[in-house]
């Protein structure tokens, strides 16, 4: 593997992964792979084309030919996601799409088809990779591996708050049940299950505010990769 550095951030949703990865990518001016978005776009494309969630062959073909683009409008802004040239940035963020992504994610041929696409993000000057299996499977030689975790209850509360802030009605109990179900599916699947790499640094964010998590991770990054630009905070 080349010596272009990679920082992997894995863990279930609601642990602060997205915020941490955006912060790191902006600070370091590195590339950013949101691997969950790839699985979400695939699920959306399957739905649009009427492909069944258990049609392995059609899903594999779809994954191989998926016309997906990630566009960064400006440094620090949200990464826009396009499917067949159309903006789907918001559409892929729904709970329904997240669940659909989690249902097709265990299919071996789908994961294989998306592997090269994910590895293609590994370009100079460096990569921040966000997902479930970044440190275990996609980038096993990463420079620094972080695994974020938090209690299911806390993650459901965070998600509830996020949705409310966006003006989307939500039900805390329903969200908790969805989170528990998705965790179970993501961590018990036989291929690339959600789990920390053996050499990952595990951080439980249940009782930490996001600024503390950012500060802790920035310190780890500076220790592991010398000569980086100064952090913003
Ligand atoms: O991180 P996310 O919520 O956007 O991911 C959506 C689903 O995609 C997640 O529940 C499981 C799947 N996924 C995966 O299997 N492997 C990844 N590296 C990222 C996501």
- The pLDDT tens digits of the residues spanning 151-195 come to 999 999 998 998 888 888 889 999 999 899 989 999 999 999 999
197 in any annotated domain: yes
- In tens, the pLDDT along 213-225 reads 999 999 999 999 9
Picking from 194, 173, 175, 192, the residue whose alpha carbon sits closest to that of residue 184 is 194
DSSP state of 135: I
Q: Is the peptide bond before 223 cis (omega within 30 degrees of 0)?
A: no
Each residue of 97-153: pLDDT tens digit? 999 999 999 999 999 999 999 999 999 999 999 999 999 999 999 999 999 999 999
Is position 230 within any domain? no
231 occurs within a structural domain: no
In which domain, by residue range, is 131 found? 6-223
Q: What CATH number did the domain enclosing 194 receive?
A: 3.40.50.300
> Best substitution site from 101, 155, 185, 197 to test ligand 1's pocket, by max atoms within 8 Å of Cβ?
101
Identify the residue whose C-alpha is closest to ligand 1 atom 11: 102
In this prediction, residue 226 carries a pLDDT of 86
Please give, one letter per residue, the 3-state secondary structure of 45-96: HHHHCCCCCCCHHHHHHHHHHCCEEEEECCCCCCEEEEECCEECCCHHHCHH
> What pLDDT, on a 0 to 100 scale, did the predictor assign at position 228?
86
* Average confidence (pLDDT) over 37-66: 96
Answer with the residue of higher pLDDT: 28 or 229: 28
Number of domains into which the chain is organized: 1
- Rounded to the nearest angstrom, the distance between the alpha carbon of 137 and the centre of ligand 1 is 14
């Amino acid at each position: 593997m080349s010596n272009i550095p990679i920082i992997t951030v894995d863990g279930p949703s609601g642990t602060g992964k997205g915020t941490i990865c955006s912060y790191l990518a902006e600070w370091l001016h590195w590339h950013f792979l949101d691997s969950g978005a790839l699985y979400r776009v695939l699920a959306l494309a399957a739905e649009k084309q009427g492909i069944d969630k258990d049609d392995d062959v059609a899903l594999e073909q779809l994954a191989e030919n998926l016309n997906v683009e990630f566009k960064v409008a400006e440094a620090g802004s949200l990464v826009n996601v396009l499917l067949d040239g159309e903006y789907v940035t918001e559409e892929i963020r729904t709970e329904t799409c997240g669940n659909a992504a989690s249902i097709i994610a265990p299919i071996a041929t789908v994961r294989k088809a998306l592997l090269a696409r994910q590895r293609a993000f590994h370009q100079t000057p460096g990569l921040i990779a966000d997902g479930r299996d970044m440190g275990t499977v996609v980038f096993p030689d990463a420079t620094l591996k972080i695994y974020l975790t938090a209690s299911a209850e806390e993650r459901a509360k965070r998600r509830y708050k996020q949705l409310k802030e966006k003006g989307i009605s939500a039900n805390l109990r329903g969200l908790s049940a969805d989170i528990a179900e998705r965790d179970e599916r993501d961590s018990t699947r036989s291929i690339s299950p959600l789990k920390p790499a053996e050499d990952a640094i595990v951080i439980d964010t249940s009782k930490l505010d996001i600024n503390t998590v950012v500060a802790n991770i920035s310190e780890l990054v500076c220790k592991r990769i010398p000569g980086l630009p100064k952090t913003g905070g």
